[in-house]
Chains A and B, each alone.
Chain A
Amino acid sequence: MSAHETDAYAGTSRLYLWVWGWLLALTAIEVYLAYIHLALTLMLTLLLGLSVVKAALIIAYFMHLRFERLSLFLTLWPITILCIALILLFFFPDSARLRELRPY
Chain B
Amino acid sequence: MADGHTEAVLEGRWSGGVAPYATGSKKLGMWLFIISDSLTFSALLLAYSYLRLATPNWPTPFPFNPAVVYATIMTFFLLSSSLTMVMAVANAHQGNHRKTVYWLLATMAGGIGFVVLHMREWFHLFHEGVYPWTNPYGVPLFGGTFFGLTGMHMLHVTIGVLYLGIIAFGFGKKKFSSEDVEVSGLYWHFVDLVWMFIFPLVYLMSVRF
B201, A6: Cβ atoms closer than 8 Å: no
Tally A residues with Cβ within 8 Å of B: 57
Q: Let me know if B21 and A102 touch, CB within 8 A.
A: no
Is B201's CB under 8 angstroms from A48's CB?
yes
* Complex contact B50–A7 (CB within 8 A): no
The smallest beta-carbon distance between A91 and chain B, in angstroms, is 5
B72 at the interface (CB under 8 A from A): yes
Checking B28, B50, B75, B95 against A91 with a beta-carbon cut-off of 8 angstroms, the contacting residue is B50
Contact with B along A31-61 (1 / 0, CB 8 A): 1011101001101100110110011001100
Write the nearest CB–CB distance from B94 to chain A, whole angstroms. Answer: 7
| Interface presence of B197 (CB below 8 A) | yes
Chain B residue, CB-CB nearest to A7: B93
**Complex Cα gap A69–B94 (Å):** 21
Q: Is B186 an interface residue (CB 8 A)?
A: yes
Per-residue B-contact encoding for A89-103, CB less than 8 Å = 1, 0 else: 001101110110010
B197 — which chain A residues lie within 8 A by C-beta?
A: 48, 51, 55
Q: How large is the interface on B (under 10, 10 to 19, 20 to 34, 35 or more residues)?
A: 35 or more
Residue ID in chain B nearest A41 by CB atoms: B53
Main secondary structure of the interface of B (DSSP, over half): helix
With a CB–CB cut-off of 8 A, which chain B residues contact A44? Answer: 49, 53, 201, 205
Docked-complex contact A58 and B189, CB < 8 angstroms: yes
Within 64-104 of A, Cβ neighbours of B (below 8 Å) are at: 64, 68-69, 71-72, 75-77, 80, 83-84, 87-88, 91-92, 94-96, 98-99, 102, 104
A residues near B (Cβ < 8 Å) are 1-3, 6-9, 11, 13, 16-17, 20, 23-24, 27, 30-31, 33-35, 37, 40-41, 43-44, 47-48, 50-51, 54-55, 58-59, 62-64, 68-69, 71-72, 75-77, 80, 83-84, 87-88, 91-92, 94-96, 98-99, 102, 104
Interface residues of B (CB under 8 A from A): 1-2, 7, 10-11, 13, 20-23, 28, 31-32, 35, 38-39, 42-43, 46, 49-51, 53-57, 64, 68, 72, 75-76, 79-80, 82-83, 85-87, 89-90, 93-95, 178, 182, 185-186, 189-190, 192-193, 196-197, 199-201, 203-205, 207, 209
